């Protein structure tokens, strides 16, 4: 499992819950976070380096627990890597489409994720009548990475970021960046009527279903590129 920073730990936690005997390796690129403000070329380069690190640990599959990388580099990594590669878009889109009652779905993500339009495209493939409102949320990743997820500044940032999807009447919101579930307390406080879909956890359930065997010691190794 890899992410640009610490957000992917939510996906790792869910994967470990489902497959407690599986051996898991996590890499958080804390030295170069965030990815969401980078160019597609830089994101592709970083993602390839992250994947090579995991391959050096003899992994059988890779989960990209990063919304930005999943939207920009997933297909390229699927082609170039010798193991199955999973992203966060498809699984989260399916869960959101099943969850919504009024057909109005919000997507919160980094600038790169929202600019790609990939969540909207995936949702429209599932159900062309869905109304999708996408919002870039540049404030939220730094709030999480600097440890302010439970601070008043987090609530104000979340409230501001949520306003467009609230105004659009969305009853379901995809957290398209795996950092955002760490703000779930503030998200629910700001919009208690909305169902939030954790894209990383949804992807973890997808990869667990594809690798159901539980042979392993249950070891979890967490690595970072900086403090």
Positions annotated as catalytic residues are 66, 177
> Residue 103: which of 174, 190, 23, 171 has the closest Cα?
171
- Strands 24-28 and 2-3, by their bridges, are parallel
Asked if 43 and 72 count as a contact pair (C-beta separation under 8 A), the reply is yes
In whole angstroms, give the CA distance from residue 126 to residue 116.
18
Q: What sign results for the dihedral spanned by CA atoms 208, 211, 212, 214?
A: negative
Q: Decide: residue 30, CB within 10 A, 0-12 exposed, 13-18 middle, 19+ buried.
A: middle
């Amino acid at each position: 499992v890899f992410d640009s920073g610490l957000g992917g730990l939510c996906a790792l936690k869910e994967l470990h819950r489902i497959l407690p005997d599986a051996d898991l390796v996590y890499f958080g690129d804390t030295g170069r976070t965030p990815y969401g403000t980078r160019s597609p070329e830089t994101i592709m380069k970083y993602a390839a380096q992250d994947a090579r690190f995991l391959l050096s640990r003899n992994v059988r599959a890779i989960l990209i627990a990063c919304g930005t990388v999943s939207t920009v580099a997933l297909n390229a990594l699927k082609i170039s890597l010798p193991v199955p590669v999973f992203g966060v878009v498809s699984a989260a889109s399916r869960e959101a489409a099943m969850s919504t009652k009024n057909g109005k779905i919000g997507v919160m993500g980094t600038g790169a994720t929202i600019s790609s339009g990939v969540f909207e495209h995936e949702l429209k493939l599932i159900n062309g009548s869905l109304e999708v409102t996408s919002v870039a949320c540049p404030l939220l990743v730094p709030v999480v990475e600097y440890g302010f997820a439970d601070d008043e500044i987090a609530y104000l940032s979340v409230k501001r970021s949520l306003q467009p999807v609230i105004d659009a009447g969305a009853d379901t919101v995809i957290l398209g960046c795996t950092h955002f579930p760490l703000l779930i307390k503030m998200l629910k406080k700001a919009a208690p009527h909305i169902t939030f879909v954790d894209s990383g956890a949804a992807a973890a359930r997808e990869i667990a279903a594809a690798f159901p065997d539980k042979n392993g010691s249950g070891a979890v190794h967490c690595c970072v590129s900086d403090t």
